Amino acid sequence: MREITRHALFWPVAALIALLVANTVYRPDFLAVTVLDGHLFGAPIDILRNAAPLMLVALGMTLVIATRGIDLSVGAVVAISGALSLSFIATSPDPGSVSTVLLAIAIALGVSLVLGVWNGFLVSVVGIQPIIATLILMTAGRGIAMLITEGQITTVTSAPFKTLGSGFWLGLPVATLVAGGVFLLVALLTRRTALGMLVESVGINPAASRLAGVKARTIVWTVFALSGLFSGLAGLILASNVMAADANNAGLFIELDAILAVVIGGTSLQGGKFSLSGTLVGVLIITTLTLTVTIVGISPLVTPLFKALVVIAVTLLQSPRIRETFAARARQRAARPEEVAA
């Protein structure tokens, strides 16, 4: 089993390395990291910093997908969280004070958590399919974000808040540290407690899990809540990056990137077994790809095309059909694998 896991991560890691090599060939100093003002600078650091919001969203998404769910609303939550925090700071008497910023963060995270809980409620209590339940918030969410910003793109100046997205600590970007910290936390949460096993159990066989006494409802509810919370955090980082609340474009398509990262990382959309490290690799691939496109000098607008090629390549390489062809070319069988299920 462990062999298969290793095998499943082989192609994504290979793709990441290939990307990095290609970049280094194109620009030999690509992997170079320099120290400036006590901060680390360089393309790898950029990748790590740019990856932070996506990593946060993808972490929640991994857990949601493992329970057979999907969360389409993360982009909308990102927008709402950014809009809320910046609007709050903008309207507060003292935008630069730490307490204002902390309060803004608390409000944004609180609301994000509530939105996640709302999704979880629709899925686990009302029993609506996740894709549809979260489509509701995905549709309405941007409207709500615009309601908060009143359709304006609010620009804010607040040094403490800016630190979250652009600051450095111990030489590393704060955003990276936050995302890394959350990654470790989730890894500990899932593998040091029984959460991981119970999440997988619910994802593999919900009915059996219920009879075994697993609180499936609570588990599903928890992962959606976490997804909301992490998306809120991602929204804060993105908002702090640009220091402007753009309800229309903040976190646009981040749900798709996150789902992509999860799938590239080898977690199946059918639920069940999940791989956090796979998701990490997926996120790095997507972020590196985006950076590569810019470095090479292609319009960033064309990035989707390259994402499409990566998705197609990785999913095809992971597809059972291709693997079978590789594994047993000689076998001639009329039966197709999906029909052998019995």
Partner 1 sequence: MTSSETAERPVVEMTGISIEFPGVKALDQVDLRLFPGEVHALMGENGAGKSTLIKALTGVYGIDAGEILVDGRSHRFSGPGESQDAGIATVYQEVNLCENLTVAENIMLGNEPRRLGAIDWRATRREAARHLATMGLDIDPASSLGAHSIALQQLVAISRAMVVEAKVLILDEPTSSLDAGEVAQLFAVMRRLRDEGVAILFVSHFIEQVYEISDRMTVLRNGRLVGEYATATTDRVELVSTMIGRSMEVLEDLHVSTDRTVEIERGSTPYLQAVGLGRKGSVQPFDLDVYSGEVVGLAGLLGSGRTEVARLLAGADRADSGTTRIKDAPAPLRNPRAAISRGIAFSSEDRKAEGVVGDLTVRENIVLGLQAGRGWMRRLPGRQVDEIVDKYVAALNIRPADPDALLRNLSGGNQQKVLLARWLATAPELLILDEPTRGIDVGAKAEIQKLVAELAGEGMAVVFISAELEEVLRLSHRIAVMRDRAKVAEIVNGEDVGVDEVVGLIASGGDH
Partner 2 sequence: MAAVAPEQSTTGSPGPSRPRPQESRLRAIARRLRIDRRYMPVVGTFVVLALILVIGGARYENFLSAGVLANLFINNSFLIVLAVGMTFVILTGGIDLSVGAVLALSAVSAAYLLDAGVPAAVVLPAVVLIGSVIGLLIGLMVHVFDVQPFIATLAGMFFARGLCFVIAPESIPITDETFVAIAGWDTWVGGQWRMTSSVVVSLVVVALAFFLLHYTQFGRTVYAIGGGEQSARLMGLPVARTKVLVYVVSGTCAGLGGLLFAMYSRSGYSLTGVAMELDAIAAVVIGGTLLTGGTGFVLGSVLGVLVLGLIQTIITFEGTLSSWWTKIVIGALLLVFVVLQRVLTLRRT
Choosing from 25, 126, 211, 334, the residue that interacts with partner 2 (CB under 8 A) is: 126
Stretch that binds partner 1, among 34-42, 120-128, 202-210, 226-234 (CB under 8 A): 202-210
List 97, 110, 215, 244, residue binding partner 1 (CB under 8 A): 215
The listed partner (partner 1, partner 2, none) that binds 243, CB under 5 to 8 Å by sort, is none
7-15, 18-26, 123-131, 156-164 -> range binding partner 2 (CB under 8 A): 123-131
Q: Does 339 sit near partner 1 (CB under 8 A)?
A: yes
- 138 sits near partner 2 (criterion: CB under 8 A): yes
| Residue given tokens 């509701």 in the structure block | 136
Residue 2 CB, shortest distance to partner 1, in Å, is 9
Backbone angles phi, psi at 102, to 5 degrees: -60, -40
Q: Does 328 bind partner 2 (CB under 8 A)?
A: no
Q: Name which of residues 218 to 257 contact partner 2 (CB under 8 A).
A: 247, 256
- Is the distance from CB of 64 to CB of 224 less than 8 angstroms? yes
Nearest to 20 by CA among 256, 291, 329: 291
Burial 251-271 (b: 16+ CB within 10 A, else e): beebbbbbbbbbbbbbbbeeb
Output the CA torsion sign for 184, 189, 194, 198.
negative
Residue whose token pair is 């095809």: 316
194 touches partner 1 (CB under 8 A): yes
Give the containing element (helix H, strand E) for 164: helix 159-166
Interacting partner of 192 out of partner 2, partner 1, none (Cβ under 5 to 8 A depending on kind): partner 1
Nearer of residues 7 and 323 to partner 2, judged by Cβ: 323
Window of 47-55, 213-221, 229-237, 308-316 that interacts with partner 2 by CB under 8 A: 308-316
* Among positions 17, 21, 106, 131, the unique one binding partner 2 when judged by CB under 8 A: 131
Q: Which two tokens stand for residue 88?
A: 């709050």
**Nearest of 147, 103, 112 to residue 247 by alpha carbon:** 147
Q: How far is the CB of 287 from partner 2 (least distance, A)?
A: 15
Based on CB atoms, which residue is closest to partner 1, 28 or 213? 213
Residue of 24, 152, 163, 303 that binds partner 2 (CB under 8 A): 303
> Mind spelling out the 3-state secondary structure of 78-143?
HHHHHHHHHHHHHHCCCCCCHHHHHHHHHHHHHHHHHHHHHHHHHHHHHCCCHHHHHHHHHHHHHH
Helix 74-91 / helix 216-242 crossing angle, nearest 10 deg: 50
Contact with partner 1 (CB under 8 A): which of 86, 186, 219, 236? 219
Question: Shortest distance, CB of residue 89 to partner 2, whole angstroms?
Answer: 22
| Binding flag, residue 263, partner 2 (CB under 8 A) | yes
Query: Does position 259 bind partner 2 by CB under 8 A?
Result: yes
For residue 118, which of 4, 32, 228, 12 has the smallest C-alpha distance? 228
Rounded distance between C-alpha atoms, residue 298 and residue 285, angstroms: 17
Enumerate binding residues for partner 2 (CB under 8 A).
70, 126-129, 131-133, 135-144, 146-147, 150-151, 247, 256, 259-260, 263, 269-270, 299, 301-309, 311-312, 315-316, 319-322, 338-339, 341
